[in-house]
């Protein structure tokens, strides 16, 4: 008869498995890093094809195991990961020389980050696993998946399918790994293991904080709580359709799905009627309280048993009887924060609804929503006013501000030009290291070959050799010697001298112009001149002569600029 397991034994098994898989991946990393771009692309292509072929099976398996979402929508997410993401990353250079900057003589060389610890959530299990496996292999990084305990079977099956395809295409043994004995302690042991180089964490805030405290570089994703603002110039029918589409997609499980609607007062009635025509049901005050009771926990989190459920399933649990065609439950609120529990991120088809006087107030309300659990993530604006759209882009603390499209689809790059991704960085606002949509490039380190383009100056140059040819700034004593009266007298005397000598100077200039260039370049007076104006410099340029100056020489601003530009001045050295 076998002995019953102690409480700590499952954790010990999970920790031991994490350690062994990290070591296995590290061993494979050395071989993986030696593969060529052609070999890597062959492996990634095979993995994508295998995942695409099993996309529907994996979608059904995810719903059956977790109870979350809609199989048809999970199929679309699986295809997005295996086709759209793959098409985006396929042309990327991730091996050897990836860029050359000929003007700066710099060459960039890709280096894989190393073993990836990838935490996969239960809300989007198979699609996230497909995506993370593809970007890791594209970057030549061995990977260990840590599935959510509620999604071990579907994630394991995804990994098995793609690992088999990768091995058949030439991937080294141990390049793709996954935990089957999962626990929080095991996941922490994996993230902290010395053979792990980088962490890709998708999950709740507790998990993301654990990833950032593991002592490794980590890409984590914060909560969404995305607001959608409908401005008075918007195409109301399309705006409502986009919001309902985004919120009902896989029953609102993506962290970037809409959680609130903010609408201008001038169009609020029309927007309300449009929501009702497209399956939105506005709750009464008593229905709102009943929904709050079952949907929001005392910890101000969505009830896990209602996450990813349909609007009708949630209504039944709350004792609400909306029309049979209801797709989204709408809750009118006056504020944001703990006093308004339904203003949090809701991973199901429930939308809070706010009416504001104008776009300025709407801007402020969106900021309040983002600050209450969605900083740095995503929001949408529905408008045809480019100036207001830009203002939202400039002011909102969200790094994905999608325009006239669902936040769910736009944020991941399905309906926008953003990089296709299932890991969306929230930047400094959300406590993340990046605001990017994560791609294989985030799993690379870049080496740089930099050739000399500006020779270094020897430190042995003498002071005399290094002395500039232009005069040093006058000393304090010399400035004191030349007060205003003295300066005026010197200028008057010099100009008088020039006037009386004008005719003789013209004769000398005529004869000077006939001399050879070599003779002119060697001629100069024995002492520095007292005053130089612009005309003196131009005359020197015409005759190819230099002008001898010292600290006492007075230079007009135009003369200094022109003389320094053409190197006319020679500093007198006694």
Residues 191 and 241 in one domain: no
pLDDT for res 526: 66
pLDDT higher than 80, residue 473: no
Residues 25 and 171 in one domain: yes
CA distance 248 to 549: 83
What's the gap between Cα 31 and its chain centre? 31
Residues 132 and 247 in one domain: no
Query: What sign has the CA pseudo-torsion 300, 306, 309, 312?
Result: negative
pLDDT for res 490: 60
Collect all residues with Cβ–Cβ distance below 8 Å to 104 and sequence separation of at least 6: 450, 453
DSSP state string for 471-482: PPPPPHHHHHHS
pLDDT for res 521: 39
Identify whether 434 is part of a domain. no
Query: What sign has the CA pseudo-torsion 267, 272, 275, 276?
Result: negative
Identify whether 425 is part of a domain. no
* Average pLDDT for 287-293: 97
Identify whether 429 is part of a domain. no
Active-site residue 255, yes or no? yes
Identify whether 507 is part of a domain. yes
Which of the residues 52, 141, 154, 255 is marked catalytic? 255
Per-residue confidence at 462, pLDDT binned at 50, 70, 90?
Answer: low
Collect all residues with Cβ–Cβ distance below 8 Å to 372 and sequence separation of at least 6: 225, 336, 337, 343, 344
Least Cα distance to 427 among 343, 370, 348 occurs for 370
CATH number of the domain bearing residue 344: 3.40.309.10
Residues 246 and 128 in one domain: no
The pLDDT tens digits for 15-70 are 999 999 999 999 999 999 999 999 999 999 999 999 999 999 999 999 999 999 99
Helix (H) / strand (E) element for 275: namely helix 268-277
| Residue 372 CA: distances (Å) to CA of 224, 280, 365, 366 | 10, 24, 11, 10
Task: For residue 93, give both structure tokens.
Answer: 């250079």
What's 304's DSSP letter? G
* Average pLDDT for 245-265: 96
Collect all residues with Cβ–Cβ distance below 8 Å to 334 and sequence separation of at least 6: 340, 354
Q: Which residues pair with 531 in a beta bridge?
A: 554
Collect all residues with Cβ–Cβ distance below 8 Å to 300 and sequence separation of at least 6: 338, 341, 344
CA distance 49 to 134: 11
The SS3 call for residue 35 is coil
Per-residue confidence at 262, pLDDT binned at 50, 70, 90?
Answer: very high
How many domains does the chain fold into? Answer: 3
Q: Count other C-beta atoms under 10 Å from residue 543's C-beta.
A: 16
CATH number of the domain bearing residue 34: 3.40.605.10
CA distance 442 to 424: 12
Residues 216 and 327 in one domain: no
Provide the domain limits for residue 496: 463-571
Identify whether 430 is part of a domain. no
Greater confidence (543 vs 28) lies with 28
CA distance 132 to 126: 10
Residues 24 and 141 in one domain: yes
CA distance 444 to 452: 25
Greater confidence (227 vs 215) lies with 227
Identify whether 122 is part of a domain. yes
Residues 446 and 396 in one domain: no
- Among the candidates 405, 424, 450, a domain finishes at 450
Residues 207 and 243 in one domain: no
Least confident of 96-110, 202-216, 492-506: 492-506
Residue 488: Cβ-neighbour burial (10 angstroms; 0-12, 13-18, 19+): exposed
* Average pLDDT for 95-108: 96
Give the ranges where 124-267 is alpha helix by DSSP (H). Answer: 125-138, 152-168, 184-192, 205-212, 236-248
Helix (H) / strand (E) element for 519: namely helix 517-522
492-522 b/e (C-beta count within 10 Å ≥ 16 → b)? eebeeeeeeeeeeeeeeeeebeeeeeeebee
The SS3 call for residue 148 is coil
Least confident of 90-94, 142-146, 432-436, 567-571: 567-571
Residue 43: Cβ-neighbour burial (10 angstroms; 0-12, 13-18, 19+): buried
CA distance 410 to 416: 5
CA distance 313 to 425: 32
CA distance 440 to 32: 15
Task: For residue 388, give both structure tokens.
Answer: 């207001």
What's 486's DSSP letter? H
Q: Which residues pair with 354 in a beta bridge?
A: 262
Identify whether 533 is part of a domain. yes
Per-residue confidence at 494, pLDDT binned at 50, 70, 90?
Answer: low
Angle at 69 between CA 67 and CA 72, to 5 degrees: 120
- Sheet of 106-112: strands edge to edge? 96-101, 106-112, 444-450
Residues 199 and 50 in one domain: yes
CA distance 411 to 427: 14
Residues 468 and 338 in one domain: no
Identify whether 455 is part of a domain. no
For tokens 């104006």, the residue is 533
DSSP state string for 358-427: SHHHHHHHHHHHHHTTTTEEEEEEE-S-HHHHHHHHHH-SEEEEEESS-HHHHHTTSSSSSPP-S-B--T
Per-residue confidence at 107, pLDDT binned at 50, 70, 90?
Answer: very high
Residues 382 and 473 in one domain: no
Residues 361 and 254 in one domain: yes
Q: Count other C-beta atoms under 10 Å from residue 372's C-beta.
A: 21
The pLDDT tens digits for 359-415 are 999 999 999 999 998 999 999 999 999 999 999 999 899 999 999 999 999 999 999
CA distance 75 to 62: 10
């Amino acid at each position: 008869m076998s002995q019953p397991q102690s409480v700590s034994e499952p954790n010990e098994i999970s920790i031991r498995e994490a350690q062994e898989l990290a070591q296995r991946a590290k061993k494979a990393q050395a071989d993986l890093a030696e593969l060529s771009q052609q070999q890597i692309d062959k492996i990634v292509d095979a993995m994508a094809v295998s995942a695409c072929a099993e996309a529907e099976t994996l979608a059904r398996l995810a719903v059956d195991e977790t109870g979350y979402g809609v199989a048809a929508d999970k199929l679309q997410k699986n295809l997005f990961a295996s086709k759209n993401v793959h098409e985006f990353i396929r042309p990327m250079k991730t091996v050897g020389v990836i860029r050359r900057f000929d003007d700066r003589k710099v060459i960039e060389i890709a280096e894989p980050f190393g073993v990836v610890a990838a935490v996969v959530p239960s809300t989007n299990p198979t699609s996230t696993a497909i995506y993370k496996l593809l970007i890791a292999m594209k970057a030549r990084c061995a990977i260990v998946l840590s599935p959510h305990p509620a999604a071990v079977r579907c994630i394991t099956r995804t990994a098995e399918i793609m690992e088999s395809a990768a091995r058949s295409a030439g991937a080294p043994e141990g390049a793709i790994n996954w935990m089957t004995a999962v626990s929080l302690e095991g996941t922490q042991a994996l993230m902290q293991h010395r053979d792990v180089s980088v962490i890709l964490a998708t999950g709740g805030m507790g998990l993301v904080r654990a990833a950032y405290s593991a002592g490794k570089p980590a890409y984590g994703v914060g909560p969404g709580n995305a607001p959608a603002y409908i401005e008075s110039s918007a195409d109301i029918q399309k705006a409502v359709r986009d919001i309902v589409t985004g919120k009902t997609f896989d029953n609102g499980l993506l962290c970037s799905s809409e959680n609130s609607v903010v609408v201008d007062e001038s169009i609020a009635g029309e927007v309300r009627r449009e929501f009702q025509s497209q399956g939105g049901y506005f709750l009464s005050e008593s229905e709102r309280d009943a929904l709050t009771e079952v949907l929001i926990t005392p910890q101000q989190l969505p009830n896990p048993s209602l996450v990813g459920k349909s609007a009708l399933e949630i209504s039944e649990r709350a004792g609400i009887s909306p029309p049979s065609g209801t797709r989204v439950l709408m809750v009118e609120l006056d504020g944001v924060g703990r006093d308004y529990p339904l203003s949090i991120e809701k991973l199901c088809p429930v939308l809070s609804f706010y009416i504001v006087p104008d776009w300025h107030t709407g801007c402020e309300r969106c900021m309040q929503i983002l600050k209450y659990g969605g900083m740095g993530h995503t929001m949408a604006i529905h408008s045809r006013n480019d100036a207001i759209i830009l203002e939202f882009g400039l002011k909102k603390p969200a790094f994905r501000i999608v325009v006239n499209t669902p936040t769910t689809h736009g944020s991941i790059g399905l309906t926008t030009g953003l990089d296709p991704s299932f890991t969306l960085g929230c930047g400094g606002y959300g406590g993340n290291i990046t605001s990017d949509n994560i791609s294989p490039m985030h799993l690379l380190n870049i080496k740089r070959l930099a050739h000399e383009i500006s020779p270094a100056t020897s430190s042995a140059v003498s002071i005399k050799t290094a002395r500039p040819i232009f005069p040093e700034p006058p000393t304090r004593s010399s400035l004191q010697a030349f007060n205003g009266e003295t300066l005026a007298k010197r200028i008057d005397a010099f100009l008088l001298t020039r006037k009386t000598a004008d005719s003789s100077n013209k004769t000398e200039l005529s004869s000077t112009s006939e001399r050879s260039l070599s003779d002119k370049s060697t001629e100069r007076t024995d002492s520095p001149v007292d005053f130089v104006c612009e005309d003196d410099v131009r005359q020197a340029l015409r005759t190819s002569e230099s002008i001898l100056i010292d600290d006492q020489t007075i230079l007009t601003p135009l003369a200094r600029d022109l003389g320094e530009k053409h190197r006319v001045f020679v500093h007198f050295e006694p």
